[in-house]
A = this chain, B = another copy of it.
Amino acid sequence: MPQLRQDPATHEWTIVAAERAKRPDQFRVGREKRPAPPSYSPTCPFCPGNEKMTPPEIYSLPADKASGGPPWKIRVIPNKFAALVPEGSLERRVEADFFRNMDGFGYHEVIVQTPHHDKPLALLSREEVTDLILTCRRRYLELRKMPGIEAIIIFENHGPSAGTSLEHPHSQIVAIPVVPNRMRDRYESAIQYYDDLHHCVYCDMLEKETQIGTRIVEWGQGFVVLNPYASTAPFETWILPTRCEPSFGNITDEECSELAAVLRKTLRKLYFGLNNPDYNLVLNTALVGEENKHYYVWHIQIIPRLTTRAGFEIGSGVYITTALPEETAKFLREFNEESPVESTQPAAGHQPL
């Protein structure tokens, strides 16, 4: 019997389609392993030596000179094909007395995560991931000061079905001058809960999930990794701080290092456990004007692209997932990401998708 589940924070419904459910190991990517990317590509604008192929750098984290390698560890550059640009007016206009628009003002930056063309986030060291998180915080704190910015979205698209056009591992950060409906709704729902109960709904959720335990992937230092109750897709994974903090901008240095440990561990579980699935990673954080109100907790959301959103989801906004989060969490919790060589062998009787 399928089940309908409601996200306690957003009140959005998901269908957990038991009739269609697969065992977690059946989601392993069955295609022939992609050809290993080269460690350097002469035509890649993000590879060291090709810096002139990108717009001028916004920031870079210099490498240890003694290393003898590329001069930088991380680079931040404007997106050459930016969706929004830091020009034009912030004025909202009305066209034909009816349609509202404004200039596409904003910021769209690329964070080149590593000089190595062939090293996805899952294969970086804890120190390298810490540097990346510190860089994201730095850019976040800069962009939130810019006039007119209402929301900042940090994300990574990994692999072609997640919408990547460039193979070299990179994240993006977009700062926008409007409040998206979805983000406003998320807040209004959390505020209502706070007004009713004087608790943060995310903190209550974390407490309940910790008590129940079945959907927890990892209890890290300062962070919890879980597959949410009303997951919208198989293996949807969230990473939340245990400290009630609405804004990613307020993460401490120590927390950056703790987050790096659990993020790396989580991505390695997905990488080795599911054979390097494509995924979208999104950092959900408070709207710029709402960063000090403790009814929201920033969190990372990872959605592996193992299924396709289709007409029903587009029309209704309700998602259908074909895996129980209790089962996917158990799979990830028990998967040993530190002995990946054995683990990449398909399970006996494995059916490719």
Residues of A in contact with B (beta carbons under 8 Å apart): 1-6, 8, 10-13, 15-20, 81-85, 87-88, 96-105, 151, 153, 155-157, 161-164, 172, 174, 176-178, 180-183, 185, 204-205, 208, 211-212, 229-230, 280-284, 301, 303, 307-312, 314-318, 320
Contact of A85 among B2, B99, B156, B157 (CB under 8 A): B2
In whole angstroms, what is the CA distance A185 to B67 when docked? Answer: 55
- Using Cβ atoms and an 8 Å threshold, which residues of chain B touch A10? 181
B17 engages A83 (CB within 8 Å): yes
A156 engages B312 (CB within 8 Å): no
20 A-B Cβ contacts within 8 A?
A: A2-B84, A5-B101, A6-B100, A6-B178, A13-B178, A15-B83, A16-B104, A17-B104, A20-B81, A83-B320, A98-B204, A98-B208, A155-B315, A162-B311, A163-B307, A172-B312, A181-B317, A183-B316, A280-B314, A282-B314
- Using Cβ atoms and an 8 Å threshold, which residues of chain B touch A11? 181
- Using Cβ atoms and an 8 Å threshold, which residues of chain B touch A316? 151, 153, 174, 176, 180, 182-183
A101 engages B4 (CB within 8 Å): yes
Q: How far is the CB of A153 from chain B (nearest CB, A)?
A: 4
- Using Cβ atoms and an 8 Å threshold, which residues of chain B touch A82? 2, 17, 19
Q: Which residue from chain B places its CB closest to the CB of A284 in the assembled complex?
A: B315
- Using Cβ atoms and an 8 Å threshold, which residues of chain B touch A102? 3-4
In whole angstroms, what is the CA distance A26 to B139 when docked? Answer: 35
Q: How far is the CB of A171 from chain B (nearest CB, A)?
A: 9
Given contacts A2-B103, A98-B204, 14 further A-B contacts (CB under 8 A): A1-B85, A1-B104, A2-B83, A2-B104, A4-B102, A5-B101, A10-B181, A15-B83, A15-B104, A155-B311, A155-B315, A161-B308, A180-B318, A182-B317
Contact of A100 among B8, B153, B283 (CB under 8 A): B8
Q: How far is the CB of A283 from chain B (nearest CB, A)?
A: 7
Q: Given A3-B101, A96-B208, A208-B98, are A283 and B183 also a contact pair (CB < 8 Å)?
A: no
In whole angstroms, what is the CA distance A159 to B38 when docked? Answer: 33
B208 engages A4 (CB within 8 Å): no
Q: Given A98-B205, A310-B162, are A183 and B317 also a contact pair (CB < 8 Å)?
A: yes
- Using Cβ atoms and an 8 Å threshold, which residues of chain B touch A281? 311
In whole angstroms, what is the CA distance A20 to B100 when docked? Answer: 22
Q: Which residue from chain B places its CB closest to the CB of A279 in the assembled complex?
A: B311
Q: Given A103-B3, A316-B183, are A96 and B151 also a contact pair (CB < 8 Å)?
A: no
B99 engages A312 (CB within 8 Å): no
B310 engages A88 (CB within 8 Å): no
In whole angstroms, what is the CA distance A82 to B204 when docked? Answer: 33
In whole angstroms, what is the CA distance A4 to B97 when docked? Answer: 16
Q: How far is the CB of A55 from chain B (nearest CB, A)?
A: 12
